[in-house]
Structure 1
Amino acid sequence: MGLHGTWASPYSTRVKWALKLKGIPFQYIEEDLYNKSALLLRYNPMHKKIFIPVLIHGQRPVCEFMVIIEYLDEMWPQYPLLPIDPYERSVARFWVKFIEDKVGKSKILYFGIFNKSHEVQAKAMRDSLEMLSIREEHGPNKGKKFFGGDNINIADIAFGGLAHWMGVVEEVSGRKMFDAEKFPRLHAWMGNFKSLPLIAENLPDQGNLCRYLARQREKLFSSSTHK
Structure 2
Amino acid sequence: METHRVLVADDHEDFRRGLEALLAATPALEVVGTAGDGAMAVALALDLQPDVVLMDLHMPRVNGIDATAQIVRSSPHIGVLVLTMMDDEESVFAAVRAGARGYLLKGARRGEIVRAVQAVGAGEVIFGPGIADRVMTYFSSARTRPAADAFPDLTERERVVLAMIAAGEENGEIARRLGLSIKTVRNHASNIFTKLQVAHRAQAIVKAREAGLG
Shorter-normalised TM-score: what interval? under 0.3
Greater relative contact order (Cα < 8 A, sep 6+): 1
TM-score, normalised to structure 2, is: 0.26
TM-score w.r.t. the length of structure 1 is 0.25
Q: Kindly indicate which of the two structures has a greater share of residues assigned to strand.
A: 2
